[in-house]
Structure 1
Amino acid sequence: MIFVNHNNTNPYFNHAAEQYILENFEDECFMLWRNEPCILIGKNQNTLAEVNMDYIKEKNIKVVRRLTGGGAVFNDLGNINFTFIAKNTEDVSSNFRKFTAPLLKALQSLEVNAEFSGRNDLTIGGKKFSGNAQYYHKDKVLHHGTLLFSSSMTDLSKALKVNPLKLKDKGVKSVVSRVANISEHLKEDMTVLEFKNYVVDFVMNIYCEKELYEFTKEDLRKIDKIIEERFNSWDWNFGNSPKYTYSKQKRFKGGTIQLNFDVSHGRIKELKFYGDFFFTKDIKELEDKFIGLKHEEEEIKNFLEKSSIEDYIKAVEFQDILELMF
């Protein structure tokens, strides 16, 4: 087994690197990596239903959709992610215990009472510190998971806190779990990087191998291409959400407005205004102009700034409609 060694903390890079290794390396691989603050969305989730958009914009927290299923998780530099890529044999497929066993042994060697729990979690005293997921490609399996070490619990709770927008989606909703940082349960203090190095040495000793691999310039070029095509793409991170219906109502100076619309592949498919507002032009003209737009703040804002909203709804400005959209 090869240990892929790098220190890049860009979440787009790290997920592209996983895909690149999965699709191109023959050897079984192990990788430990950290992300700058970000939300990792499960493959089948509705991004807007999982993320507190106001908070992540304020804190400059990125959003990245994973290849794997499961729920949304928060990452920062106090969290370590681990990845195993192996042949998809009968004893490996959907075998979460097999891949998490080395991590549990590493923690138990530090006198941390960690255990496997439920479908795919690792816990300490009933509190979750690791969630795990798998993705399959040809004859290989990618297994990855989180290791909360010293993450900000404030950011974790606020970034994933869902603002009730009456989203009725068909995706998988995240379950809010009680969580714990590993650092709180260590007998002796360690930094997150000391812990990372300890885990690397421990796991590689289990496999009796210490072969290190550093990405070449050609590797990095191909990883950058995957970033551009997928992981730094709005279409992947937001547009790939399941279909959903959005509804929001608010009272403005010009009256009460309720806005309903359907979104498919991240784009508005049907939109209707309801309320006791006064209008000058046929409101359907305005409704039709929204069709095909991304349900994304910058695009909607640019559209509204050019749309003369006051020509359709009296005493209502474009900022009011923008507020209704998110």
Structure 2
Amino acid sequence: MIFIENEGINDPHLNLALEEYILRNFDRGEDYLLFYINEPSIIIGRNQNTLEEINQSYTEENGVHIVRRISGGGAVYHDLGNLNFSFITDYDNTKLNNFRNFTSPVVKALNGMGVKAELKGRNDILVGDKKISGNAQFSSVKRMFSHGTLLFDCDLSEVQKTLNVKMSKIQSKGHKSVRSRVANITEFLPEPMDIQSFRKKIIEEVYREQENFKTYHLTEDEWDGVKKLKAEKYDQWDWNYGKSPKFNIHRTKRFAVGEIDIRIFVEKGTIKSIKIYGDFFGKEPVENIEEVLTGKRYDLAEITTALEPIVIHDYFGNVDQQEFIDLLYGEDEV
């Protein structure tokens, strides 16, 4: 495994560009590990409607960065007390949605520091009932990454101020607020340490588990490529916010894999546009489904026929074809 040094950069736009650049341009057959710490920012999941996830007036007044990532899952708050890790590897179907495979060295390192952490639920690392890490994945045809946050000494009061938490998520998980669910790792450490010491200990644990572990610094040309990707994608309003669609049908449901939120604009019985949002994880981009359904009649038989070639599991995880069709068109209350 190769550890890639991000040179102490705290710009979330550049760090997310660096992560994607490594995924798409570095050698196959090699595993990479990237750590980064971001300035105050909200990192939006690939399939989310940004304006519905953030407190826009507060983020603008306080200079909080808004950046969309290419992986699924929900919006998260980052600041200088939050350590982020990313394992970048060849695509393997057995690794997809298998967060334990990637988080085990992190959990082991935390346990070694006296923090009784464990992976629970879909993608969270918890200490008792308190969440200290959330994880997400992205996969292309040949490569994938699994990345996560580590709430080390984050300003948790900012989580509530910057994020608008959907009532469906609160109700489905039975929690009163985000603040009641999360905690900093510093609360559980038997001995105090700063975030750089913490970062070093996590790296040391991965070193112990991997043979031929080495560190790599990007060349000037590679950094130019990262900065180009940042400028053309991660700095762009269209990527980070996107255009909110016109719709007259709104269908949403929370599954075990996460929430699926569908906005459909139907005119004269035909689907003129459709947008699928949510905090689910999937291998394939939901834009494929949107494209297949656009132009079709908003009719159960036509929708069912159009979706026959689509493997729904590839887009949302453990949701079957009929469940998705019922969400799109079913008569039951969702």
- Give the counterpart of 1:59 among 54, 58, 62: 62
1:160 counterpart residue number: 163
Paired with 1:138 and 1:240, the residues of 2 have a C-alpha distance of: 27
Structure 1 residues 243, 93: closer, same or farther in 2, change over 3 A? farther
1:41 corresponds in structure 2 to: 44
Deviation at 1:243, TM superposition (A): 5.6
* 1:259 alignment counterpart: none
2:223 match: 220
Shift of 1:89: 2.0
CA distance in 1, matches of 2:82, 2:247: 31
Q: Show the 5 A alignment for 1:281-300.
A: none
DSSP-derived class of the 2:70 partner: coil
Q: Following the alignment from structure 1 to structure 2, what is the Cα–Cα distance between the partners of residues 129 and 94?
A: 19
CA distance in 1 between partners of 2:24 and 2:146 (Å): 14
State the AA in 2 paired with 1:45.
Q
The one-letter code matched in structure 2 to 1:75 is: H
1:244/1:208 CA distance change after superposition, 3 Å: farther
Q: Distance in 2 between matches of 1:244 and 1:201?
A: 51
1:11 — aligned with what? 12
- Counterpart CA distance in 1 for 2:164 and 2:209 is 39
Q: 1:85 to 1:152 in 2, by over 3 A?
A: same
Q: 1:45 to 1:92 in 2, by over 3 A?
A: same
> Would you say how many aligned residue pairs link Structure 1 and Structure 2?
239
Give the alignment of 1:221-300 within 5 angstroms.
Answer: 221-239=224-242
Equivalent-residue separation in structure 2 for 1:34 and 1:263 (angstroms): 38
Q: Is the 8 A contact 2:52 2:164 kept in 1?
A: no
How many Å separate the matches in 2 of 1:97 and 1:117? 9
**Which of 75, 78, 82 is 1:79 aligned to?**
82
3-state SS of the aligned residue for 1:239?
coil
User: What is the TM-score normalised by the length of structure 2?
Assistant: 0.68
Q: Judging changes above 3 Å, is the alpha-carbon distance between structure 1 residues 108 and 226 closer, same or farther for their aligned structure 2 residues? A: same
Query: Structure 2 regions of 5+ residues with no counterpart?
Result: 168-174, 249-262, 266-334
Separation of aligned partners in 1, 2:230 and 2:77: 20
TM superposition score normalised by structure 1: 0.69
Structure 2 SS opposite 1:230:
helix
Question: Could you say if the C-alpha distance between residues 66 and 226 of structure 1 is closer, same or farther in structure 2, counting changes exceeding 3 Å?
Answer: same
TM superposition shift of 1:157 = 1.4
Q: Matches of 1:97 and 1:163 in 2, distance apart? A: 27
Match in the other structure for 2:133: 130
1:23 maps to what in 2? Answer: 24
User: What aligned pairs does 1:128-207 form with structure 2 within 5 A after superposition?
Assistant: 128-161=131-164, 177=178, 178-207=181-210
Q: Which amino acid aligns with 1:9?
A: N
Q: Is the 8 A contact 1:39 1:73 kept in 2?
A: yes
Rg comparison, structure with higher value: 1
CA deviation map 1:169-217 (0-9, x unaligned): xxxxxx9641010011000001011101111121122113331001111
- Secondary structure class of the residue paired with 2:241: helix
Residues 79 and 148 in structure 1, CA contact (< 8 A), matched pair in contact too: yes
What is the RMSD of the two structures over their aligned residues, measured on CA atoms?
2.2
CA offset at residue 155 of structure 1?
A: 1.0
Where does structure 1 differ by over 6 angstroms across 4 or more consecutive aligned residues?
A: none
1:211-232 deviation line (CA, Å, top 9, x unaligned)? 1001111011000110011111
Aligned AA for 1:14? N
Q: Report if the CA contact (8 A) 1:44-1:242 is conserved.
A: no
| CA displacement, residues 95-128 of structure 1 (integer Å, 9 cap, x when unaligned) | 1110000100000001111011110110011111
Query: Shift of residue 28 of structure 1?
Result: 1.0
Give the match for residue 267 of structure 1.
none
* Rounded Cα–Cα distance in structure 2 between residues aligned with 1:244 and 1:3: 45
How much does 1:73 deviate?
0.2
Q: Deviations over 1:18-66 (max 9, x none)?
A: 1100011112100111100000000111111000011111211000001
What's the % identity of the aligned pairs?
42
